[in-house]
Amino acid sequence: MAIGARLKKCPQILTLGFKPNFSDYTSKERELLLNTPRILYPTAFYADLFNAMGKPTFPSYHTYKFAMDKIKQTAMFQMMNIPHPRTRIFYGKLSRERILAEFCFPFIAKIPRGSAQGKGVFLIQTPEHLDAHLSLKGPAYIQEYLPFDRDMRIIVMGREAVFSYWRVARGSDFKTNVSRGGEIRFDPLPREALDLARATAQTCGWDDVGIDIALAEGKFYVLEGNMKYGTKGFKKAGIDYKDFLCRMVLEGKV
The model's pLDDT over 179-200, given as tens digits with 9 standing for 90+, comes to: 777 999 999 999 999 999 999 9
Sign of CA dihedral 126, 175, 73, 189: negative
The alpha carbon of 133 is separated from its chain's Cα centroid by a whole number of angstroms, namely 23
Q: For the CA atoms of the chain, what is the radius of gyration?
A: 20
Collapse the DSSP code of 99 into the 3-class scheme (helix H, G, I; strand E, B; otherwise coil) and give the result.
Answer: helix
Instruction: Please tell me the distance from the alpha carbon of residue 239 to that of residue 26, in angstroms, as a whole number.
Output: 36
**Sign of torsion over alpha carbons 45, 48, 53, 57:** positive
**For position 118, what pLDDT does the model report?**
63
In CATH, the number for domain 150-250 is 3.30.470.20
Q: Which of 36, 59, 51, 248 is nearest to 162 (CA)?
A: 248
Residue 174's pLDDT is what? Answer: 83
Q: Which CATH number fits domain 86-144: 3.50.50.60, 3.40.50.2300, 3.40.190.10, 3.30.1490.20?
A: 3.30.1490.20
The DSSP element (H or E) to which 222 belongs, if any, is strand 219-226
Binned average pLDDT, 10 residues per bin, the chain of 254 residues: 96 97 97 96 97 97 96 98 98 95 97 79 96 94 96 97 96 80 95 98 98 97 96 97 97 95
Domain boundary assignment for the chain: 5-58, 86-144, 150-250
Q: Are 199 and 191 in contact (CB under 8 A)?
A: no
Cβ–Cβ under 8 Å, residues 63 and 48: no
Q: Please tell me the predicted confidence (pLDDT) of residue 92.
A: 92
**pTM of the full structure:** 0.94
Give the contacts of 54 (CB within 8 A, at least 6 positions apart). none
Q: How far apart are CA 138 and CA 123, in angstroms?
A: 18
pLDDT one-digit tens code per residue, 150-167: 999 999 999 999 999 999
pLDDT (0 to 100) of residue 117: 64
